Amino acid sequence: MLQAIDQYPSRRREDISPFPRNEPVIHGRDWQSCRSSDGPLTTHQMESYEEKGFLWMERFFSQEWIEPFFKELKEIARSEKLRKRREVIMDTQGDEVKSVFAMHTLSKRFAEIFSHPDLLSVVQQLIGSDVYIHQSRINYKSGFQGSGFEWHSDFETWHTEDGMPRMRAVSASIMLTDNNPFNGPLMLIPGSHKLFVPCQGATPDNNWQQSLKTQKVGSPSEEIIGQLAEENGIEAPTGPAGSLLLFECNTLHASNRNMSPWPRANLFCVYNSVENRLERPFSGKDPRPDFLGARENTRALRAIR
């Protein structure tokens, strides 16, 4: 089977200027002509997501309902057996867990939250089809030492290193702890999802082993980030545990090191359209492990209460 033409070339030797995306932000039928009853999101929320590339929904889940998830994360972090798995990434700043991938396969509790009907219906409304879990993870920043993430577009990585052909995926980030201005909240550049920003430099073999700890390739130049930030600003949504941040797969985002005494833990689930399953990586390299980009289990999710 021939691979589709690469619509979003990146990681080339030559410098490629940013260019407009080749597809809609909200997929499926013409949502602007639809009633809000066609999905849980209002017209105003859909317009905001389309314009900014993300949507903040405070207290989407109650803090009481979320609390057991944070406790389970702490249990995972204390397990020596789990800490040795390759799905667990340790922080370079100390002996703390930075990320745990494939949470939906490690924990029944976390698998169920990703299929919660309230969350799943929102994602399906944006993507315009059934969805499956491309990747799930927890990002944890302990107080005083949790490291940050460089500016990047997730889609640039998933396209280049996983073979995701089109921009038809949504990240849902659920706050397991309060996110405040001091503990390294996610920063996003509004409107950056409307452009694809190619990155220069070839992808090393098995790049994922390094990039999950410290990202060295797949990050746009400071000049490009500066231009986009000057034009559109930077936003860092903050709020209590249980809040939800939805962001489009091509939205540029980053986060700072946690300099506060308060930990920050966010649960991520990447939903991809069943019509957008992975092909061969467009970098020409071997695919990343399945816990980073699902190829085996891509069945459509069904709501679980």
Whose tokens are 């314009």? That residue is 51
At 153-212, the pLDDT tens digits run 999 999 999 999 999 999 999 999 999 999 999 999 999 999 999 999 888 887 766 666
* pLDDT value of position 36: 47
> CB under 8 Å to 160, separation ≥6 — which residues?
10, 11, 203, 218, 281, 282, 283
Residue 86 in tokens: 């390759």
* pLDDT value of position 87: 79
Low-confidence ranges of the chain (pLDDT < 50): 35-37
At 169-183, the pLDDT tens digits run 999 999 999 999 999
* pLDDT value of position 212: 64
Strand partners, 152: 253
d(CA 103, CA 150): 23
Question: Does 19-273 carry CATH code 2.60.120.620?
Answer: yes
- Say if residues 289 and 159 touch (Cβ distance below 8 Å): no
* pLDDT value of position 109: 87
How far separated are the first and last CA of the chain, in Å rounded? 39
Specify the pairing of strand 253-255 against strand 195-196: unpaired
Q: What is the pTM of this model?
A: 0.92
Q: Domain ranges for the chain, please list them.
A: 19-273
